């Protein structure tokens, strides 16, 4: 089903060390020819703007098994440095709990929307508190989770849109204005619904009914909360017609669209990059040039539509592969590539314990360490100029500095084959310490090399189809 990738270890040396000759000899066994040579030049004193933290995620550490032995999920989650977390499908990862979804918080649609006794906030309170404690911003999806049941319960068009807005408003006020013994969290993004174009699993009405519902709900919510951002709809089938129908309907109703959201599970990096460009063009032409673009569900899917036609055992093995090293490299090369597109926010689905997540049996898998690698790079937010020669398609590099002038370099090698990298870092002698971290078959973003001050250049070799390299250079020891 997959090509076996073997990445035994990374040979990281500086040309000035006594190990340079031995490293080159060892590398020659697995890398040969000019087509395997890549040069990366880094200019730490030349700003290239800000690094966009597009490493958001879906779902927070579940409440359901917090006291289970093994990995501390909150601690592991915080270690990925997820900047923003979308709260969709939370009840599916917390079975038996009533959280996030409006029909679970306000269970009786016939009840008085202004009576606090008709709301159940306790578990959502704890869930959001976990997010805040883990250092991630909250992105709240107003609506309901996907329904895979034969009968549908909560995915019908609201019969009373005004009341739906009243309920949503009270949830917003509980978490941002302290209403009903609530909180004053800085939750800026409120997404209206999810995947209405998926069909009965998420919306049993027509798309025109949904577009009209969105326009009415967003208009009223924006009147009540002009300082917050409202958007949607989390299209699952991104395309020009879908965007134009939705945004065009918003324009006809003069409805707000602070952000447009969509989903895609892709076999290629170029698709995910091009979609951001296309979305920007469609929105601009519909009269929404300031609307943010959010790809708020995405994942590597090399099988395309064939994945959904596999038998259970085969599909489980496919998803296990999609949590592996190739996927870890893929997600990094995509997030690096997004730096030069109009995309404003990305949200990986998921960064928790679901079958699409970055844990298996509460143990971090390779995609966890892939998310962690990009998360660590975001601590160096000032992007600096880089140049490359011989970088293969699908592989990318990103570098940044922090306020103290320390430097980090992230290289994502997605299906690139064995490579020999030469890193020519301008002013490398000013850095007192260099560390190299590797994500491969046998290393989980572990440090494989470090040295003190040097003249460079830095030589790094890989012997794999895919991998991730993180380099940190510090001004002080």
Instruction: Confirm whether 3 is domain-assigned.
Output: no
- Total domains present in the chain: 2
Going by C-beta distance under 8 Å and a sequence separation of 6 or more, which residues neighbour residue 241? none
Among residues 377, 392, 413, which one ends one of the domains? 377
Instruction: Tally the C-alpha atoms within 13 A of residue 134's C-alpha that lie toward its C-beta.
Output: 31
Ranges of H-type helices in 143-239: 161-176, 207-224
Residues 300 and 425 in one domain: no
Residue 174 CB neighbour total at 10 angstroms:
21
Instruction: Confirm whether 73 is domain-assigned.
Output: yes
Residues 124 and 221 in one domain: yes
Residues 402 and 437 in one domain: yes
331 near 300, Cβ under 8 Å?
A: yes
- Per-residue confidence (pLDDT) for residue 7, from 0 to 100: 33
The single-letter DSSP state of residue 157 is P
Residue 420 lies in domain: 11-50+382-474
Q: Which helix (H) or strand (E) holds 389?
A: strand 382-389
Which residue carries 């001004």 as its tokens?
Answer: 475
Exposed, middle or buried: residue 34 (CB in 10 Å: 0-12, 13-18, 19+)? exposed
The single-letter DSSP state of residue 172 is H
The two tokens of residue 453 are 């001050």
Nearest in space to 303 (alpha carbons), one of 288, 292, 314 = 314
Residues 212 and 319 in one domain: yes
Q: How far apart are CA 339 and CA 377, in angstroms?
A: 13
Name residues of the chain where pLDDT drops below 50: 1-32
Q: How far apart are CA 387 and CA 397, in angstroms?
A: 9
Per DSSP bridges, beta strands 382-389 and 37-50 are antiparallel
Q: Is 50 left (phi over 0), alpha (psi -120 to 50) or beta?
A: beta
- Per-residue confidence (pLDDT) for residue 71, from 0 to 100: 84
Nearest in space to 367 (alpha carbons), one of 10, 55, 6 = 55
Ranges of H-type helices in 323-435: 325-337, 366-377
Residues 147 and 288 in one domain: yes
Instruction: Confirm whether 437 is domain-assigned.
Output: yes
Among residues 377, 411, 438, which one ends one of the domains? 377
106 near 119, Cβ under 8 Å?
A: yes
Residues 46 and 187 in one domain: no
Q: How far apart are CA 349 and CA 295, in angstroms?
A: 10
Residues 81 and 33 in one domain: no
Exposed, middle or buried: residue 207 (CB in 10 Å: 0-12, 13-18, 19+)? middle
- Per-residue confidence (pLDDT) for residue 34, from 0 to 100: 57
User: What CATH number should be reported for the domain holding residue 34?
Assistant: 2.60.40.1180
Residues 409 and 335 in one domain: no
12 near 459, Cβ under 8 Å?
A: yes
235 near 261, Cβ under 8 Å?
A: yes
Which residue carries 């800026």 as its tokens?
Answer: 188
Nearest in space to 406 (alpha carbons), one of 473, 339, 326, 328 = 473
Residues 220 and 120 in one domain: yes
Instruction: Confirm whether 210 is domain-assigned.
Output: yes
Residues 296 and 408 in one domain: no
User: What CATH number should be reported for the domain holding residue 173?
Assistant: 3.20.20.80
Instruction: Confirm whether 1 is domain-assigned.
Output: no
Residues 297 and 411 in one domain: no
- Per-residue confidence (pLDDT) for residue 22, from 0 to 100: 37
Going by C-beta distance under 8 Å and a sequence separation of 6 or more, which residues neighbour residue 424? 39, 40, 41, 42, 456, 457
Query: What residues does 411 pair with on adjacent strands?
Result: 397, 469
Among residues 320, 344, 377, which one ends one of the domains? 377
The two tokens of residue 110 are 């016939």
């Amino acid at each position: 089903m997959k090509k076996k990738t073997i990445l035994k270890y990374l040979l990281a040396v500086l040309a000035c060390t006594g190990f340079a000759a031995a490293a080159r000899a060892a590398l020659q066994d697995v890398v040969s020819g000019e087509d395997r040579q890549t040069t990366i030049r880094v200019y730490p004193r030349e700003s290239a703007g800000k690094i966009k933290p597009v490493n958001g995620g879906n779902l927070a550490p579940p409440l359901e098994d917090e006291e289970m032995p093994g990995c501390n999920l909150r601690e592991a989650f915080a270690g990925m440095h997820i900047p923003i977390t979308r709260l969709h499908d939370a009840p599916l990862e917390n079975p038996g709990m009533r959280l996030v979804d409006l029909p679970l918080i306000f269970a009786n649609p016939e009840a008085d929307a202004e009576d606090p006794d008709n709301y159940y906030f306790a578990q959502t309170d704890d869930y959001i508190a976990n997010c805040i404690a883990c250092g991630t911003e909250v992105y709240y999806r107003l609506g309901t989770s996907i329904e895979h049941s034969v009968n549908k319960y909560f995915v019908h068009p609201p019969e009373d849109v005004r009341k739906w807005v009243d309920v949503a408003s009270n949830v917003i006020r509980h978490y941002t204005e302290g209403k009903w013994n609530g909180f004053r969290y800085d939750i800026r993004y409120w997404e209206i619904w999810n995947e209405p174009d998926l069909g009965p699993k998420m919306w049993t009405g027509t798309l025109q009914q949904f577009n009209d519902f969105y326009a009415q709900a967003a208009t009223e919510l924006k009147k009540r909360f002009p300082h917050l951002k409202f958007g949607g709809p989390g299209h699952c089938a991104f395309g020009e017609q879908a965007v134009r129908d939705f945004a065009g309907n918003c324009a006809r109703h003069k409805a707000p669209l602070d952000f447009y959201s969509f989903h895609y599970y892709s076999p290629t990096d170029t698709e995910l990059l091009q979609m951001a460009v296309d979305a920007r063009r469609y929105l601009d032409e519909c009269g929404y040039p300031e609307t943010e673009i959010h790809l708020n569900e995405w994942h590597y899917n090399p099988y395309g539509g064939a994945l959904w036609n596999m038998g259970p055992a085969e599909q489980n093995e496919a998803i296990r592969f999609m949590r592996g090293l190739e996927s870890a490299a893929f997600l990094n090369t995509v997030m690096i590539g997004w730096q030069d597109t109009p995309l404003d926010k990305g949200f990986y689905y998921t960064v928790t314990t679901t079958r699409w997540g970055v844990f298996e049996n509460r143990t971090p898998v390779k995609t966890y360490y892939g998310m962690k690698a990009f998360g660590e790079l975001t601590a160096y937010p000032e992007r600096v100029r880089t140049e490359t020669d011989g970088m293969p398609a699908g592989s990318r590099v990103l570098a940044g500095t922090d306020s103290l002038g320390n430097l980090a370099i992230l290289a994502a090698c997605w299906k690139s084959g064995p490579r020999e990298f030469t890193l020519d870092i301008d002013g490398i002698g000013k850095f007192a310490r260099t560390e190299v971290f590797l994500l491969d078959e046998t290393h989980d973003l572990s440090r494989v090399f470090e040295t003190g001050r040097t003249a460079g250049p830095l030589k790094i070799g890989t012997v794999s189809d895919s991998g991730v390299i993180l380099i940190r250079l510090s001004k002080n020891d």
